[in-house]
Chains A and B, each alone.
Chain A
Amino acid sequence: MSTLSYAVSDSATMLRRNLRHALRYPSVTVSVVAMPIVMLLLFNYAFGNALGAGIADSPTGDAEYIDYVAPGIILMAATSGALATAISVCVDMTEGIVNRFRTMSVSRAAFLTGHVVGSVIQTLVSLALVIGTALAVGFRPNATALEWLAAMGLLTLLTLALTWISAGIGLVAKNVETASNIPMPMTFLPFLGSAIVPTDSMPTGLRWFAEYQPFTPIIETLRGLLLGTEIGNNAIIALAWCLGAALVGYVWARRVFNKAR
């Protein structure tokens, strides 16, 4: 076999290992999926009337708050899923198994690739569950099959980017607590964007931040694809953020992992 096919087969072995972990000890996966579902229900049933009334003239053009908030919550499912990778990578690093891999003739990329691909698959499953729940509680997107595909593509790309960054965090974190705490701000970032309420309703300073932070164009693109709202140049900005973050995360995580200690 060539070096490339070894790299692929080693990555597949590592992926099987990670998926087996996830299936056998589903607690992390379950909590990662539960969080956005609880948020969805909370924002729809508990806060939905008040928030919906406040944004009646929102770009979605109707007062159904679920239509406004669902894309935001779907995006949160992507972020929280991705960030669990930091924990699983860190757990491996604190145990001896990674040192064993390093002393074996295993493709250098395989360990991280296995983690990242495993995490992306888990996040996609959790996205499907969150979208299903949203549809069940009244989310009515008007997207065509192609728009759905584009929306899923964007979410996958975002998940990939966040997962690589998260894997890097898992590598540099000294212990599992740190690994689960460092990515926390990232899960809150969508709140300070247009996930829950439109940015125009925010005070000037916050609005400025909210409009320029990466999650806002991503949410707006999602909304546009799923509900037909104006996308404008948000799509390009969203893609640029995702591709940039994926590249930076990938290069950083690979470098940290390969660095001789």
Chain B
Amino acid sequence: MTTTTTTTTATRGRTRTLAISATGLTKSYGDKKVLDGIDLHIPEGTVFALLGPNGAGKTTTVQILSTLITADAGRAEIAGHDLTGAADGVRRSIGVTGQFAAVDNLLTARENLILMADLHHLGRREGRRRADDLLARFDLTEVAHSSVVTFSGGMRRKLDLAMTLVGDPRVIFLDEPTTGLDPRSRRIMWEIIRDLVTDRGVTILLTTQYLDEADELADRIAVLDHGTLIAEGTADELKRRIPGAHIRLRFADAHRLDAAADLFRATSRNDETLTLNIPCDPGIPTLRAILDALDTASIPAEELTVHTPDLDDVFLTLTGRPQVDRVPDSRKENPR
């Protein structure tokens, strides 16, 4: 029997039930500390994004919370079930879609869904009904009887998510749900994920490397780096902490740079690269205003680039170094 959860938290004056609560999760592989004390408190019916580069510990966190691996220390409750004491209860409440599609390549799409239904002991009729519903909902009816080997990346990911939904999970883990997908499939996945929360009121913990994805989907975002959470908040709260969008101008010589710096006042300049950063909302009116100002003052610019904040900026700001120079650790991202 499913026990109801009693853990609660006060958010914005309201008391909400926590779907996921974890404290002090720690995991090491040999000498390498992958998770160094993670705390997560995720209210029911919300989307929480774990944002970080490869090797930050995102997948490890999902693997621990979905009972795939055990943490060295710390405890967690998922939908009211203790992770170590009631792993089977946790498994009955969750659904997991990993970054590598977990589908049976030798079966058809429908057979994959029915396999899930059978493992959830749904009964023959109900299982088939749910499989057909999901195929229709995910736009896979036409390929229901095709072998999954023939599927594109986007179709596989959709089928993977459909398989996760067969058991009607209350808590869904999405480990990099759109990594490797083309922009269109990515949009479709985002739609599906949003609908899940509005239609079914499920709780979603998703991991991503992309700030825009977290921004698009999540109620709250936590930034994970080297196994520690270095920031947590809403997308807006996080964005306030990072340098906003700016326009970068490059000039031919220091004279022109000086002149432009005077013109735009109080902006950051780099004398080595002869560039000037102008923080602003980079819309067309702003662009036009800047170009007009340069024209009027007769200062020719060599180059103009528009820069919008991305994960690099978050990392640069929060850790003082860019994320790109880090080597992803493939071994622990996908342990067998």
Contact = CB atoms under 8 A, between A and B. Distances in A.
A105 B91 contact: yes
Interface in B76-125: 88, 91-92, 94-96, 98, 100-107, 111, 115-116, 118-121
Interface residues of B, number: 31
Nearest to B99: A96
Main secondary structure of the interface of B (DSSP, over half): loop
A17 B115 contact: yes
Contact of B111 (A1, A9, A20, A25): A20
A255 B309 CA distance: 49
A13 B106 contact: no
B100 A96 contact: yes
Given A20-B111, A93-B336, A104 B91 contact: yes
A97 interface: yes
A72 to B, nearest CB: 34
Contact of A100 (B69, B92, B102): B102
Nearest to A108: B88
A102 B125 CA distance: 25
B57 to A, nearest CB: 15
Contacts of A106: 119
A201 interface: no
Contacts of B335: 261
B68 interface: yes
Interface in B304-336: 335-336
Contacts of A17: 104, 107, 115
Most buried by A among B91, B92, B335: B91
A16 B67 CA distance: 26
Given A94-B336, A104-B119, A261-B68, A99 B98 contact: yes
Interface of A: 1, 6, 9-10, 13, 16-17, 20-21, 24-25, 93-97, 99-106, 260-261
Given A9-B121, A93-B336, A104-B120, 8 more contacts: A6-B121, A9-B118, A13-B115, A20-B107, A97-B103, A99-B96, A102-B67, A260-B69
